[in-house]
Amino acid sequence: MSIYKEMLGEQFERLQPKLKRRYTISSEKAFQATGVMTKITSGPKWLSPFFRIATRWKFLFPEQGENVPFQIVNKGKLGPNGEQQVHWERTFFFPNQTRHFNALMSLEKSKRAVRDYLGEPSLFYSELVFIVTEEGHLQIESSKQRLVLGKLEIPLPRLLKGNVLVKECYVEKKDVFSIHVLITNPLLGTLFEYKGVFQTDDL
């Protein structure tokens, strides 16, 4: 069973039909799509050195732009303890550079949330809460967060958190998925943002 279906329970059935298919990801069923990010913003310029270093982990990146080609691949896999995991591979094709924003998700059953380890190897952990809106859209919000240093995980205080808000839906008139990802900080404002559309590829 998909970790998202298991986590959302009855809410899963209220998703738009195409969103239901999109999040029915398991070790037997992957999801792949291509599209365009109409806007990518990477926060204050003085943070660029940190974002550039983060590219080594396929995490954040300093590039910004409009109408950037994009690809997403979600593949289910089994973790070392036999738990279901979903690998997220997001690729952004800038004119002079290709950047990645990868993650590995698994289910936190006791909290009805998703564990999201960002980067390869993981550099950052965020606990995610999934919500189905009245319109059948999907909204994702972050909760607890930790800095990952090898086997050591350090909880982040509120002022150092990167608060995540994701809004995703399916636009029937255009036959596309619409995505908006926003990461903000209480002190610094917007740290990272992208929004755009994508269509499913035939696997």
Question: What is the DSSP code string of 78-119?
Answer: E-TTS-EEEEEEEEEEETTEEEEEEEEEEEEGGGTEEEEEET
pLDDT band at 149 (very low <50, low <70, confident <90, very high): very high
Give per-residue pLDDT as tens, 76-128.
998 888 889 999 999 999 999 999 999 999 998 777 899 999 999 999 999 99
Residue 203 located in a structural domain = no
Q: Please give the tally of structural domains in the chain.
A: 1
Domain of residue 107, CATH code:
2.40.128
Residue 102 located in a structural domain = yes
Distances (CA, A) of 54 to 39, 65, 96, 98, 124: 20, 18, 18, 14, 10
Does this model's pTM top 0.85? yes
